[in-house]
């Protein structure tokens, strides 16, 4: 796989959040059985539409840790990473008082080497804990 500088996968509206640019053109994401329904988003255009459909006043961050990458071939790898999502709607700027994460779980990714570099071909999100997104007060800070 080789060492390369880290680059974030970004949502165009939320610069530190996840987004479509780190996936291959046909990359897929699946979220199994969350809130009684599975959601599958496939391809960059669908990922852009998904991220674009979130509330404009949503602030979210999803730090990942304990990343394990297993190289299978010169062109494919699998990765697992654990995450915690911090999210609030109604954000108008500034710091938000810390609260517990709204969900915690792990990703299972299939990575493919392309002309663009290593990209996510498939991502499955497997939440272990989940709850509602809090709405901030009128001042947008908690």
Give the chain's largest Cα–Cα span.
52
Judged against a pLDDT cut of 50, whether residue 15 lies above it is answered with no
Predicted TM-score of the model (pTM): 0.73
Quickly state the pLDDT bin for 16 (edges 50, 70, 90): very low
Please state whether 43 falls in left (phi above 0), alpha (psi between -120 and 50) or beta: left
pLDDT tens, 120-140? 999 999 999 999 999 998 876
The mean predicted confidence, pLDDT, of the chain is 82
Quickly state the pLDDT bin for 19 (edges 50, 70, 90): low
Looking at residues 90-100, what average pLDDT do you find? 92
Identify which has the larger pLDDT, 41 or 25. 41
Domain 20-130 classification at class level = alpha beta
């Amino acid at each position: 796989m080789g060492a390369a500088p880290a680059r974030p996968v970004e949502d165009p509206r939320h610069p530190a959040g996840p987004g479509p640019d780190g996936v291959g053109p046909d990359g897929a994401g699946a979220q199994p059985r969350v809130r009684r329904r599975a959601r599958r988003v496939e391809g960059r255009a669908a990922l852009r539409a998904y991220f674009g459909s979130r509330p404009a006043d949503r602030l979210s961050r999803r730090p990942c840790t304990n990343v394990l990458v297993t190289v299978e071939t010169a062109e494919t790898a699998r990765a697992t990473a654990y995450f915690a999502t911090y999210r609030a709607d109604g954000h108008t700027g500034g710091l938000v008082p810390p609260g517990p994460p709204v969900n915690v779980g792990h990703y299972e990714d299939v990575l493919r080497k392309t002309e663009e570099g290593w990209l996510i071909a498939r991502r499955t999100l497997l939440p272990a804990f989940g709850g509602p997104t809090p709405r901030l007060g009128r001042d947008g800070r908690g």
